[in-house]
Amino acid sequence: MRDLTAHQLNQRLGKGINFGNALDAAAGALRLTEAYFDAVRAAGFDTVRLPVRWSGHAAERAPYTIDGGFLDRVDWAVDGAMARGLNVVLNVHHYDELQADPDGHAARFLGLWEQIAARYAARPDRLYLELLNEPHGALVPRRWNALLADALAIVRDANPGRAVIVGTARANDIDALPDLRLPDDDRLIVTVHYYAPFEFTHQGATWLPDTERWLGTSWGTGADRAAVVSDLDAAARWAAAHDRPLFVGEFGAYSKADPPSRLRWVEFVRTQAERRAMSWAHWDFATDFGVYDPERDAWRTPLLRALIDP
C-alpha cells in the first residue's frame, strides 16, 4: 500500500459511481446484482462508492456488534466490485443519530469503525475507507475535527497504509474546507460533495420542503458556468495549499431538471473536476439521480455520455 502516494491513489479512483439507495436504505431499495457490477465496469467506470448504513444494523450497547448477515451482504458487494477490477469506497452513511448527538453516539461510531477496520484489513489497497458521509448538524467543524482524528486512529491500528477518505463538516461543503483540521497522515484523501446551485440540482426533490417552486430552473449560461469554475477553483487552491488530493464523492442533478440543462451541468462539473486533478463519483447509479434505468436494465445513454467520453 505504500507504493503509491495519496495523490496517486486519488487519481486511481478516477471515474466513479455511487450505489446509493442500496446498502444505505431500508426495504424496497435498490437490490444490487452481479449484472450491475458488470455494467459499471463495461461502461468505463473505475470506482464504486458503497454508502452503508451500519448504524441501522448494529447493537445499541457496547461493543455495538454489527449484524452478521448484514456484514455478509456488504462483503458480497465489496468483493463483487473488486473482482471486476473496480476500486471500492466504503463509507459510514446516514448515521443521523450521530449528526444530532455527537457526544451520545461517538463511542458507538468508533465501535463500528473498530469492527469495519478489522474486517477489511486484509483486502487489497483498492478498497478505500471513508470515515463519514456528510458530517453536519451538531457535528460542527470543531467537534468533527476531534472525532475524525479518533476514528482515523482506530482505522490505522488495523490498516496502517490504507487510503482513508475524510470530508468536511457542513455536509462536505467546499466552503467548509478552511475549517477542516487533519492529523499528520500522508494516506488521506479529502472529499467534497457538489450540488450547486441547489435550486437547480434539487428542483422538485420529494424529500425536501418547497422544492416545487424551483421547477423549471435551467442551467447553462456563462454566469452559471463561471460559478462552478469559481467553486472548484476555491477547492483546488485549498488542496494545493495543504497538499491534499480531492475526491468529489457526490455530484448529480435530480431527474426533474430539464434534460438538456441536466446534461450540460453534469458534463461541465465532471470535466472541470478532471481538469483540476480531482477524482469523482456521480450520484448515483439507479435512483432519481441515476444514470442507469433499473426498469429497462439499460443505461440512460445521454447521461452516461456526459460522464464517460465515448
Q: What amino acid positions are annotated as catalytic residues?
A: 134, 250
Full DSSP string of 117-157: HHHTTTS-TTEEEE--SS--TT--HHHHHHHHHHHHHHHHH
Q: Which is nearest to 116 in space by CA: 161, 62, 55, 171?
A: 55
- Per the structure block, which three cell numbers stand in for 154? 482506530
Residue 130 near residue 167, CB atoms below 8 Å: yes
SS3 call for 93: coil
Q: Which is nearest to 256 in space by CA: 193, 195, 202, 196?
A: 202
Q: At what angle do helices 102-119 and 141-158 cross, to 10 degrees?
A: 20
Residue 303 near residue 263, CB atoms below 8 Å: yes
| 144: Cβ contacts below 8 Å, ≥ 6 apart | 102, 135, 169
Residue 154 near residue 110, CB atoms below 8 Å: yes
Sign of CA dihedral 214, 216, 219, 222: negative
